[in-house]
Structure 1
Amino acid sequence: MNVSPRYREAWEGYWTATSDTPGEAIWDADPSVTAVPDSERLLPYADPTLPVVDLGCGNGTQTRCLATRFVRAIGVDLSHAAVAHARRADPGNTAEFAQLDLVDAVAVAGLHERIGDAHVYLRAVIHQSEPEARPAVAAAVATLVGERGRAFVTEPTPASKDVLRQVAQAPDGPPEKLRRVLEHGLRPAEATEEEVRRLLRETGLTLLDEGAGTLAQTAYLPGGSRVELPARWFVLGRT
């Protein structure tokens, strides 16, 4: 199984049209408000000598941060253009980057065979995946975790739609960062919290911890406050 051509082209088009400027993507927030607090929730359950795989790494901002917390960090993304961004932003080779379709179970299993059990960082990927692909995305997490790894998964809740609606209804219309997402046919906050929880449960992984959180964005409300999407985070692993 693979993602649909439409979905693949939407992401390839988005990242091709995105510059190397940090923060141009609406979700490309500084690690201090993303990967740092997320990894602090994961590390009490995780062996830092195992590698970490950042699924849906985009331009690699969070992957490079994770490389400072774990012995090895690998960022993978569906989009070839995103991987090219990530490599250009990391001339010192702090992390590794590769193209990977998470829905391709054979390719995911191949990655696990090459690197062994790993920790997984999945930030806001399930919610914008095609409905029929979401079970495979969740299954990819379990495959890469194996027996020894742990996973940190965070996804926006349906309340995020209200926040995005407020942003889109600004007097001048949606800000450019959100407009570009919508123009490329990407649909945020499409998965419910109940669906995410069910998908993770069906992987066979055990829920070790969870909590409410937010997904920091690089766009701001008219009053100057940062756009933050309500989210739920989960730490999972084998029993």
Structure 2
Amino acid sequence: MDVSTRYRESWEGYWRETSDAPGEAIWDCDPSLGSVPHSELLLPYADAALPVVDLGCGNGTQTRYLATRFSRAIGVDLSHEAIAHARRADPAGSAEFEQVDLVDEEAVRALRGRTGETNVYMRAVIHQSEPQDRPAVAAAVAHLIGARGRAFVAELTPASKEVLRSAAEGPGGPPEKLRRVFEHGLKPASATEDEIPGLLRAAGLEILADGDTALPQTEHLPDGTRIDLPARWFVLAGR
């Protein structure tokens, strides 16, 4: 099974029209606000000698930081255009990047064959996936970590919808970075409160730790307030 053509083309179009400038994508926050604190939550449970795979890596900002904390970092994304961004942003080759459709079980098995059991970092992927594809994304996490790996997963909660709605309905309409998300048919925060932990457990994952957080965005409201989206994080092991 693969993702729908519409979904794939939405992401290819989004990244094709996004410049290489840091922070141009609304979720492309500095690692100090993303993978740095997230690593501190994951590493007490994880073997850093194992590789880490950054699922939904986009332009690779977080992957490059993860390469400093784990023996090897591989960023994967559905979009060829995103992977092209990531490779351009990493001329030193600190991380590896490849296009992988997480809904394609054969592609995920092939990735696991190349990496062995890995740790996984995944930030805001399930909520953005089409509903019928979400179980396969969770299953990909479980397959990649196997028995020895650990995963850090952060996903937007439904409360993010209200934050985004409020931002979109401001006097000038949606801020530019948020408007581009909507224009490409991407639908953030569409998962329900209980759906994410349910999907993770159904995939055979054990929740070792979890908590509430916010995912900082690179967009601001007219008054200068940064848009931070309510989220929940999970540290996971295979069962």
Superposition TM-score tier, normalisation by shorter sequence: over 0.9
SS in 2 for 1:86: helix
SS in 1 for 2:43: helix
Question: Following TM superposition, by how much is the alpha carbon of 1:223 offset from its aligned partner in structure 2, in angstroms?
Answer: 2.1
Q: Which residue of 2 aligns with 1:73?
A: 73
1:126 counterpart letter in structure 2 = I
RMSD of equivalent CA atoms: 0.7
- Number of aligned positions between the proteins: 239
Question: Following TM superposition, by how much is the alpha carbon of 1:127 offset from its aligned partner in structure 2, in angstroms?
Answer: 0.3
Question: Following TM superposition, by how much is the alpha carbon of 1:145 offset from its aligned partner in structure 2, in angstroms?
Answer: 0.4
Unaligned runs of 5+ in 1: none
SS in 2 for 1:87: helix
Per-residue CA deviations over 1:111-148 (Å, capped at 9, x if unaligned) read 10111000001100000100000000000000000110
Determine the C-alpha separation between the residues in 1 that align with 2:169 and 2:79.
30
SS in 2 for 1:139: helix
Question: Following TM superposition, by how much is the alpha carbon of 1:25 offset from its aligned partner in structure 2, in angstroms?
Answer: 0.3
Judge conservation of contact 2:145–2:151 (CA < 8 Å) in 1. yes
Per-residue CA deviations over 1:27-62 (Å, capped at 9, x if unaligned) read 000000001001100000000000000000000000
Determine the C-alpha separation between the residues in 2 that align with 1:238 and 1:16.
36
Determine the C-alpha separation between the residues in 2 that align with 1:193 and 1:21.
33
Runs of 4+, deviation exceeding 2 Å: none
Question: Following TM superposition, by how much is the alpha carbon of 1:76 offset from its aligned partner in structure 2, in angstroms?
Answer: 0.2
Q: Which residue of 2 aligns with 1:9?
A: 9
Question: Following TM superposition, by how much is the alpha carbon of 1:224 offset from its aligned partner in structure 2, in angstroms?
Answer: 1.4
Q: Which residue of 2 aligns with 1:218?
A: 218
Determine the C-alpha separation between the residues in 1 that align with 2:106 and 2:238.
21
Q: Which residue of 2 aligns with 1:209?
A: 209
Determine the C-alpha separation between the residues in 2 that align with 1:28 and 1:164.
16
1:97 counterpart letter in structure 2 = F
Determine the C-alpha separation between the residues in 1 that align with 2:40 and 2:57.
19
Determine the C-alpha separation between the residues in 1 that align with 2:157 and 2:107.
29
Unaligned runs of 5+ in 2: none
Q: Which residue of 2 aligns with 1:50?
A: 50
Determine the C-alpha separation between the residues in 2 that align with 1:111 and 1:2.
15
Judge conservation of contact 2:45–2:150 (CA < 8 Å) in 1. yes
Question: Following TM superposition, by how much is the alpha carbon of 1:193 offset from its aligned partner in structure 2, in angstroms?
Answer: 2.2
Judge conservation of contact 1:30–1:61 (CA < 8 Å) in 2. yes
Q: Does 1:237 align with 2:229?
A: no
Q: What are the equivalent positions in structure 2 for 1:90-239 lying under 5 Å apart? A: 90-239=90-239
